[in-house]
Amino acid sequence: MRLHILGIAGTFMGGLALLARQLGHQVTGSDANIYPPMSEMLAAEGIPVGPDTDTGFLQDAPDLVVIGNARSRGQPLVEAVLERGLAYTSGPDWLARAVCPGRRVLAVAGTHGKTTTTGMLAWILERAGHDPGFLVGGVPGNFAVSARLGGGRDFVIEADEYDTAFFDKRSKFIHYRPRIAVLNNLEFDHADIFDDLEAIRRQFHHLVRTVPGNGKLVVNQEDAQLREVLERGCWTPVDGFGDEATGAGWQLRASCPDFSEFQVRRDGVPCGDARIPLPGRHNAMNALAAIAAAAAAGVAPGQALEALADFIPPKRRLELRGETGGVSVYDDFAHHPTAIRATLEACRARYPGERLVAVLEPRSNTMRMGRHRAELASALAAADRVLLLEPAGLGWSLAEVARELGTHAAVLRSTEEIVADLTASSQPGDRVIVMSNGSFDGLHARLLSALEQRADS
């Protein structure tokens, strides 16, 4: 079958392209912005990719066009597909029909931590000999690709609550019909899709409805929103996870201030000690969820703990991009106040006494709409210095956030200004945490280059 994928450069749709290629399909794709690492993965698989203004891919009608959720009416290729009467579907629907049947699907859902937890779970199953298939919405450190079919029964998927396509406004995860589902947490996000928190709770309950009675729900027992979701009806056994105060079946007890080492207990019985490369209680909770989900798939906790000791974090999860002149520059995907706070507090615990510089690009649709402005200053409070990028057309001013933070915060208008500021002000021992869900105009590499020039001058 010949497939053409609209929006192929996104992590989900690019991973889907890799799976289609592994199934033996002829695959082409198009997108507005095509850049590494996905461009490199697609090229390695021999998948031709072009701009999303080129309708040439549709001249010899493909058997099926798979349309990503970033594509919308009015875009040339979308209009061409509709006008020519070509067969089309969404990415999640294709995955559900072409990959999931006959597999034991393990889905990882939640506002935060999906990519990390999915990567952890896939690696645990790999180390346990399950040879899992997976689709991760990022670049997992332990694997060369973001998606593969695998030879085993299990298929692990990052289960996003974002909408499916311009013609299907259900959450993506509704399509996957998991037998084991992880519910990490639930907060308001994606304001361009959801009107309020209730709309998101409703979608999560739709997911709960699809998990069979002989499956398993692995649920963060500390999260009040998830408890409310389950109260609407639950037909599947639940394994809760959390700290000792929750009374959850799976519990963690920190062994060090930054939570990178912790003890795991199941029903009050110690299972062993965990060691993970990422700091922060939120990452310890991600690991605990992965351990519990793997146990539901038949992996002993001891095996899971051994695997986590070798876990390599996905790209852009507090990733050290370089160190020059004593200044360390990190890349982090945080773009929601809860994630921003968790990242900075984790860094504060890991690097006590060192100066933390937070650099934030408010790029997500929800952030650009100003829906998180009230929580932003408190989320950034753990940093010693804060630089806020206010891009053109933001629609609201970051000045009030800076005023709440005080004299150690500044609003800048371009990445050039940020590089100039940090080059002039950074000191040996500083840890610069760059936070965005986009490329931030190559800020990391540009800053490291400028710092290197400063050191050489």
159: which 2 tokens? 């289960």
d(CA 197, CA 194) in angstroms, rounded, equals: 7
Taking 90 as the threshold, does the pLDDT of residue 366 lie above it?
no
Task: Indicate the CATH number of 2-90 among 3.40.50.1110, 2.60.40.10, 3.40.50.720, 3.10.310.10.
Answer: 3.40.50.720
pLDDT category at 318 given cuts 50, 70, 90 is confident
Strand partners, 241: 220, 250
In angstroms, the first-to-last Cα distance of the chain is 58
Instruction: Determine the angle formed by the axes of helices 337-350 and 281-296, rounding to 10 degrees.
Output: 110
Q: What pLDDT is stored for residue 133 in this prediction?
A: 98
The residues spanned by each domain of the chain are 2-90, 99-308, 319-456
Decide if 99-308 and 319-456 have a common fold.
Answer: no
CATH of domain 99-308: 3.40.1190.10
Q: What pLDDT is stored for residue 276 in this prediction?
A: 96
d(CA 383, CA 347) in angstroms, rounded, equals: 9
Nearby residues of 374 by Cβ (< 8 Å), 6 or more positions away: none
Q: Are 190 and 169 in contact (CB under 8 A)?
A: no
d(CA 37, CA 146) in angstroms, rounded, equals: 10
Q: Are 252 and 288 in contact (CB under 8 A)?
A: yes
pLDDT digits (tens, 9 = 90+) for 194-211: 889 999 999 999 999 999
235: which 2 tokens? 């037909």
Please count the helices (runs of H) and the strands (runs of E) in the chain: 15, 23
Record the pTM.
0.92
CATH of domain 319-456: 3.90.190.20
Amino acid at 158: E
Taking 80 as the threshold, does the pLDDT of residue 372 lie above it?
no
d(CA 121, CA 125) in angstroms, rounded, equals: 6
Q: Which of 27-41, 60-74, 379-393 has the lowest mean pLDDT?
A: 27-41
Give strand ranges (E) for 43-179.
49-51, 64-67, 88-90, 104-109, 133-135, 147-148, 154-158, 163-165, 168-171
Q: Are 284 and 275 in contact (CB under 8 A)?
A: no
Q: Which of 118-127, 149-158, 280-289, 361-370 has the lowest mean pLDDT?
A: 361-370
d(CA 145, CA 286) in angstroms, rounded, equals: 21
